[in-house]
Structure 1
Amino acid sequence: MAPGKFRKPPQAPPSFTATPDSVVEDTKKLLASSKKVTDDIVASIQAKDASFHNVLLPLAYDENQQSLKTHILGFYQSVSTDQTLRDASTEAEKLMDDFSIEAAMREDVFELVDAALKRGDKLDPESQRLLEKEHKSYVRNGLNIPAGPKRDRFKEIKKRLSQLSIAFSKSLNEEKGGLWFTAEELAGVPEDVVSLLKKEGDKYWLTFKYPDLFPTLKYATNSATRQKVFVANENKINQNVPLFREAILLRDEAARLLGYPNHAAFRIEDKMAKTPKTVDDFLGDLRNRLSQGGLDEIETLKALKKADLESRGEQFDGRYYLWDHRFYDRMMEEKDYQLDQQLISEYFPLQTTIQGMLEIFEQLFGLVFVEIVGEDRDTVSASGKGADIVWHDEVQVFSVWDDEGEGNGFVGYLYLDLFPRTGKYGHAANFNLQPGFITENGTRRYPATALVCNFSKPTAKKPSLLKHDEVTTLFHELGHGIHDLVSRTTYSRFHGTNTVRDFVEAPSQMLENWCWTPSQLKALSKHYSTLSPEYYAAWKEASGANAGSTEERIPDDLIEKLIKTKNLNGALFNLRQLHFGIFDMAIHEPKDHESLEAMKISETYNWLRKDISKIDGPEVLGEGYDWGNGQATFGHLMGGYDAGYYGYLSSQVYSTDMFYSVFKKNPMDPKEGRRYRHTVLEKGGSQDEMTTLIDFLGREPKTDAFYEELGLTKGTQSGATAS
């Protein structure tokens, strides 16, 4: 990493000193203040005098100021160890959502916004975009429905959907399930994992958190164990099943009240895809291209499974199950590619990998990251107490600056919260804590952003070690964080990752390519035995008496083997993504409301998975298609990706085009890196995302690179990549 000296930033980081009482009280005060701003505008401005400057601008300034606190008030529910604080944060989010729904349906404000739009004043492009988006949001929130019972019903639905989303997310965060297994049942699971499990008598408690779940599905030699874990994980939050169903039905009802044929038509209208047909055609075309490749991959994996079972004296029933896939996918890596993911992970200790990633962003985008530790935390804290600037003592915080070439200015704050905790958000995600924007007096307000992850904790003998897919996940989420940090928008509404859903993943997906580039893998790596004498002694003990030392950086032959696996079982990987995307469209694009009411959602989820991936589930063992409720664990579809999950695949079209066209020759080209920073990342959602892409590529985006990367060309139907 570039040597970053501590400098006191021009803006203090946010404080995390809330109590359950203060969270709710602060929320109520903020909402009352916002209501007064709006009421004052309505009281003092008549429609004939309404303009962007006297209606929209005061509302935008208020939104900017509110966002400095509201994001954090809602953030506690995802990270706090205090149940009462998490509950208060959930209550705060309900209050904020209810307020937003009421505010978005104020006809008196809409009349002013409508008049301001019709006035046609010449505005800068971002202000014009704000005016048009705000006007459209009132229409999409029901103000084209005549006042009366239908509009009241629409408002009622919006409030109920908010409650359902919050309750669904809370169940996910609070999930504490697991299963008891004997050591024999956990045979094959790495000792690193087993040693961290809670033990009572001769049984181990295996949770459904990623550091327990994935290694068990990858390494447990007992297929009955893998089956139990897989099925139980699909049923871990069955209390969410009725919430999910109710949300699907209410979304459809609301869309029809607005005059749309279904929820998908409503949601996709303002995305890059514009229409459900565009999405359905894209997903259908990709499915056709991948289907034969998936069948071919299953046959190869079946042969591997047959040989494995027969070598252990077990009988093969001719089937390849959902709980087999991670196990035999990993075995194929080891057998056919001599690739040992455990060995690879030894070269990616979490902290040195993070340092390497930050160094890449420094070189590419002209940034400097300075970790704030010890007394420096007291120096930057608004209260003078360093403990106030983090929500947990494991959290790391960095001040981020422009390098000399970019002007040495302050950029913002980056937080890393890396390990699992009870009640913590269970996946990996980037959370904006405070957006950036331009204040009323023309000064810049700097952003703060947090990565919340769940990597395995370090032990006395080993630091936290990352599998390659975890390295990729970390780089992806850091990519969102960088997008959040370097964004330069006038209004918080458009800051950073506040883009349309079918573009938002593209910048981070593009950066994943660095994790498949030999030079960057080498730069990111550092064998954990070289970090300290204690780690070296532990490694030597684990490796055997004859172990001398190992290379500090990951060897070229290991990198070569890893890169060869990039396309391994890639059709099945992408068919899994297609299952999610096609299920999402199926439940949000019914032909009529009655057919949706009749839909058996769990059966649809499981049937589509079988039909698309061709991998067997419990249904072939006589269980039927109602054996699991995977949709009840699927936070995306309740958290903003409804009728939008296709965006993970469609945005890969853009990300792959950008990488192949600009970065593939030289991923560390600083000139192109800075051009990408200024042309794409800085813009956030402040202009049409297609304009952003065309500005960067110099042309309209193409699908060629996407299909080439998947191993597909026009007319072929096999091969893919899991990048």
Structure 2
Amino acid sequence: MASAKHKKPPQAPPLFTHTPESLAKDTNSILKRNQELQDRIVKDVKPEEASFDNVILPFARDDDQMSLETHIIGFYSAVSTDSKLRDASVAAEKQMDEFAIDSVMREDVFKLVDAVYKKQKDDKDLEAENRRLLEKDHKGYIRNGLGISAGPKRDRFKEIKKRLSELSIIFQKNLNEESGGLWFKPGELEGAPADLITGLKKGEGEHEGKVWLTFKYPDLFPVQKYCRNAETRHKLFLANENKCNNNIELFKEAIVLRDEAARLLGYPDHATFRIEDKMAKTPKTVDDFLGDLRKRLAPGGLKEIEKLKELKEAETGDAEQYFLWDHRFYDTLMLERDYQLDQEKISEYFPLQSSIDGMLKIFEELFGLAFVKLEAEDRNAISSTGKGDDIIWHPDVHLFSVWDDEGEGNGFVGYLYLDLHPRDGKYGHAANFNLSPGFINENGTRRYPATALVCNFSKPTPKKPSLLKHDEVVTLFHELGHGIHDLVSRTIYSRFHGTSTVRDFVEAPSQMLENWCWTPSQIRALSKHYSHVSPEYATAWQESAKEEKQPGEHMPEELIKSVVSTRHVNDALFNLRQLHFGIFDMTVHEPKSHEAVVKLDASATYNSLRHEISKLDGPEALGQGNDWGHGQATFGHLIGGYDAGYYGYLSSQVYSTDMFYSVFKKDPMDGKEGRRYRHTVLEKGGSQDEMDTLKQFLGREPSTEAFYKELGLA
């Protein structure tokens, strides 16, 4: 149970008691309220009387209140076990998006915003975040079609915006609800972890003697990494690349419509439109960065492939070609043979729950926080309904109240939710979702945020807890980093809260924190052998290991060294994979003409670019052409907000590496610097120009030196 001090947060958590009917009703009510506000301001305020206080501020306040409900309404589509509630969530998102498009194209409202902008854009008395809000609002109307003269072109633009919203929602729903897989005989999965195979669904009838392997990460990755049967890996790889084929046409339609919309606004392509407001500013800056990195990485990638081919030849006697479905297997084998990296042994030291406890402890020390897990009785006490189950959406969900420590003032910070295991209909990757943002209420009090990590780690069994591979530890720490960003942000408006930054900066704070997972002292602190988790697990370990002596609680020095030594093994190939994603994204979003994007074959482009950039052979090397798979149909990032922005994963790495090397490398647990980072970077969210945030923290312009040095490319 929570301590008495932490039992009564000043704000109850959100409720998750919606039904399909209540979602529809609440959505209508929210939109009606906003519609009435817009109509009232247009009726009551003349352009010559328009000011920040009587136009911009009321809309911002209403946005704040709407966000408390709309984020959760949309969240059900990613996590609910009720297909009807997921469908209602999707329908509500579509309705809200269409309403938002209509709203930002209201010329009568824009006339007032434009009048305020002309009067107050240079007003020195306007607080900095207020001025940023005014600038963003004004530009938002123009970028959403009001820069186009009223008439058929503007009507077409509006039509496109609505269809793009619909495409995005359907595309993600298809991904979330993807339920494919393949039947295999256990012998075809030789080498895959025994725990995985015994846990798979058993076949009946025509599939008697077989097991069902899904495309979910806890099934897919272990087979790709450990299965010795190359034909099984090949078959699984192809099937996975061809799942969600109902998204192929949706993706193509989206890139064509985006290009048309950008040209209607006067931009040469969608990339120019999207990047204009990011840190990079122009597609040329992005293309030059990606091109330079590709040139630097390519020789290293070819060298890495040659070494992996040697390993393949030693295993099979044939290494003429090195295939995409070979890579995870031989990469893992190299780590085991050349670096003594025993992934299974290492995972024994990373039980999911104790790893989370260790991560939260790091954040407590570094940022001056306290995380208090709320058990059933605690949840009952703080739920506004008196029912603890009403403040979680699934029995597997963990809830924490988050507080400042004594040095930071003992105040309440917000709520953190962890939803860690896969289930049908759930979002299929690992991500952080804001449930309700923080902001300053009209009366000057603070509204506290709630944020959720949605992941897909394997479930525990009676004999073993959920055990994380080291790369999963890195993923979890990264996503928790987004959650911390969301929690500690302190902005006036929800519009700028937490991770609401430009896309080519948003990954930097979490990427920087990944360095802690490669620091020996922190690996040791995070580790806890699962036999020390409970007496039951100790007994189960003894039975399975058949060893007399129980391992020490923390990971031994030699294992830690083996983890750290592998950080940059086959790094060029990993980054060439990221470059493939980034360059594909830019290719489809900066065509030379609209006709070019209409004619573009997205599948062939995706596959040919992958072959050219990653240097790994696919089915095209077997004479099957470039239309053998449709990876873009599962590329949720490019439909869900990272369009003409995936390069941000690599450019953010420049900033994150610079911050770590300059400030934290000497002592990652320096609490003074951690708190300075919290207040200088994380608290700001998107409330100021992200380059200014970086410069304030670094004390200078950011540099690429540390990034290229870390990759061995300086």
TM-score w.r.t. length of structure 2: 0.98
Asked whether 1:31 is paired with 2:31, we answer: yes
2:7–2:378: 8 Å Cα contact kept in structure 1? no
1:5–1:370: 8 Å Cα contact kept in structure 2? no
Once the 2 structures are TM-superposed, how far is the Cα of residue 5 of structure 1 from its aligned partner?
A: 5.6
2:310–2:319: 8 Å Cα contact kept in structure 1? no
Which structure 2 residues correspond to residues 287-302 of structure 1 after superposition, within 5 A?
287-302=294-309
SS of structure 2 residue aligned to 1:566: coil
Amino acid at match of 2:243: K
1:502–1:651: 8 Å Cα contact kept in structure 2? yes
Asked whether 1:519 is paired with 2:514, we answer: no
Structure 2 residue corresponding to 1:462, chosen from 461, 464, 469: 464
SS of structure 2 residue aligned to 1:184: helix
SS of structure 1 residue aligned to 2:566: helix
Asked whether 1:237 is paired with 2:244, we answer: yes
Tell me what 2:569 maps to: 568
Once the 2 structures are TM-superposed, how far is the Cα of residue 160 of structure 1 from its aligned partner?
A: 0.2
Which structure 2 residues correspond to residues 66-465 of structure 1 after superposition, within 5 A?
66-120=66-120, 121=123, 122-200=125-203, 201-310=208-317, 316=318, 318-465=320-467
Distance 2:196 2:321 in 1: 29
Distance 1:27 1:421 in 2: 27
> How far does the alpha carbon of each residue in 1:433-466 deviate from its partner, in whole angstroms, 9 at most, with x for none?
0000001111100000000000000011000000
Amino acid at match of 1:448: A
Distance 1:325 1:465 in 2: 23
Once the 2 structures are TM-superposed, how far is the Cα of residue 655 of structure 1 from its aligned partner?
A: 0.3
Tell me what 1:313 maps to: none
2:200–2:212: 8 Å Cα contact kept in structure 1? yes
Amino acid at match of 2:198: S
1:4–1:368: 8 Å Cα contact kept in structure 2? no
Distance 2:323 2:329 in 1: 10
Once the 2 structures are TM-superposed, how far is the Cα of residue 537 of structure 1 from its aligned partner?
A: 1.7
1:4–1:370: 8 Å Cα contact kept in structure 2? no
Distance 2:167 2:598 in 1: 18
Tell me what 2:600 maps to: 599
> How far does the alpha carbon of each residue in 1:526-577 deviate from its partner, in whole angstroms, 9 at most, with x for none?
0001112221121122212x43211110011111111110010000000000
Once the 2 structures are TM-superposed, how far is the Cα of residue 7 of structure 1 from its aligned partner?
A: 2.5
Distance 1:455 1:531 in 2: 18
Distance 1:350 1:433 in 2: 23
Tell me what 1:50 maps to: 50
SS of structure 2 residue aligned to 1:411: strand
Structure 1 residue corresponding to 2:532, chosen from 530, 533, 545: 530
SS of structure 1 residue aligned to 2:6: coil
Tell me what 2:693 maps to: 692
**Residue 320 and residue 70 in structure 1: after superposition, are their counterparts in 2 closer, same or farther (change >3 A)?**
same
Distance 1:145 1:334 in 2: 60
Structure 1 segments of 4 or more deviating over 3 A? Answer: 2-6
Distance 1:353 1:670 in 2: 21
2:117–2:134: 8 Å Cα contact kept in structure 1? yes
Once the 2 structures are TM-superposed, how far is the Cα of residue 4 of structure 1 from its aligned partner?
A: 9.0
Distance 1:629 1:4 in 2: 55
**Residue 4 and residue 576 in structure 1: after superposition, are their counterparts in 2 closer, same or farther (change >3 A)?**
farther
Distance 2:583 2:134 in 1: 34
> How far does the alpha carbon of each residue in 1:43-95 deviate from its partner, in whole angstroms, 9 at most, with x for none?
00000000100000000000000000000000000000000000000000000
> How far does the alpha carbon of each residue in 1:190-242 deviate from its partner, in whole angstroms, 9 at most, with x for none?
01111111001210000000000000000110000000111100101101000
1:321–1:615: 8 Å Cα contact kept in structure 2? yes
SS of structure 2 residue aligned to 1:419: coil
Tell me what 1:719 maps to: none
SS of structure 2 residue aligned to 1:449: strand
1:256–1:262: 8 Å Cα contact kept in structure 2? yes
Amino acid at match of 1:296: K
Distance 2:526 2:337 in 1: 26
Once the 2 structures are TM-superposed, how far is the Cα of residue 317 of structure 1 from its aligned partner?
A: 5.0
Distance 1:144 1:505 in 2: 31
> How far does the alpha carbon of each residue in 1:138-181 deviate from its partner, in whole angstroms, 9 at most, with x for none?
00001010000000000000000000000000000000000000
Greater CA deviation, 491-500 or 368-377? 368-377
Amino acid at match of 2:567: K
Distance 1:183 1:22 in 2: 46
Once the 2 structures are TM-superposed, how far is the Cα of residue 323 of structure 1 from its aligned partner?
A: 0.3
Distance 1:140 1:192 in 2: 52
Once the 2 structures are TM-superposed, how far is the Cα of residue 118 of structure 1 from its aligned partner?
A: 0.8
SS of structure 2 residue aligned to 1:368: strand
> How far does the alpha carbon of each residue in 1:232-281 deviate from its partner, in whole angstroms, 9 at most, with x for none?
00101101000000000000000000000000000000000000000000
Once the 2 structures are TM-superposed, how far is the Cα of residue 374 of structure 1 from its aligned partner?
A: 2.0
SS of structure 2 residue aligned to 1:567: coil
Amino acid at match of 1:606: N
1:4–1:369: 8 Å Cα contact kept in structure 2? no
Tell me what 1:627 maps to: 628
Amino acid at match of 2:311: L
Amino acid at match of 1:624: G
1:636–1:642: 8 Å Cα contact kept in structure 2? yes
1:211–1:456: 8 Å Cα contact kept in structure 2? yes
Amino acid at match of 2:48: K
Distance 1:486 1:366 in 2: 10
Instruction: Give the number of equivalent residue pairs.
Output: 707
Amino acid at match of 2:537: Y
SS of structure 1 residue aligned to 2:182: strand
1:6–1:372: 8 Å Cα contact kept in structure 2? no
Distance 1:226 1:4 in 2: 54
Distance 2:119 2:341 in 1: 65
2:439–2:497: 8 Å Cα contact kept in structure 1? yes
Amino acid at match of 2:604: E
SS of structure 1 residue aligned to 2:464: coil
Identity of aligned residues (%): 71
Tell me what 1:473 maps to: 475
Distance 2:278 2:684 in 1: 17
> How far does the alpha carbon of each residue in 1:347-382 deviate from its partner, in whole angstroms, 9 at most, with x for none?
000000000000000000000000011211111101
2:312–2:319: 8 Å Cα contact kept in structure 1? no
- Which sections of structure 1, spanning at least 5 residues, go unmatched? 311-315, 714-723
Distance 2:361 2:536 in 1: 26
Distance 1:104 1:325 in 2: 47
Tell me what 1:716 maps to: none
1:436–1:444: 8 Å Cα contact kept in structure 2? yes
Tell me what 1:40 maps to: 40
TM-score w.r.t. length of structure 1: 0.97
- Which sections of structure 2, spanning at least 5 residues, go unmatched? none
Distance 2:565 2:5 in 1: 40
Amino acid at match of 1:181: F
Which structure 2 residues correspond to residues 612-691 of structure 1 after superposition, within 5 A?
612-691=613-692
Distance 2:187 2:210 in 1: 10
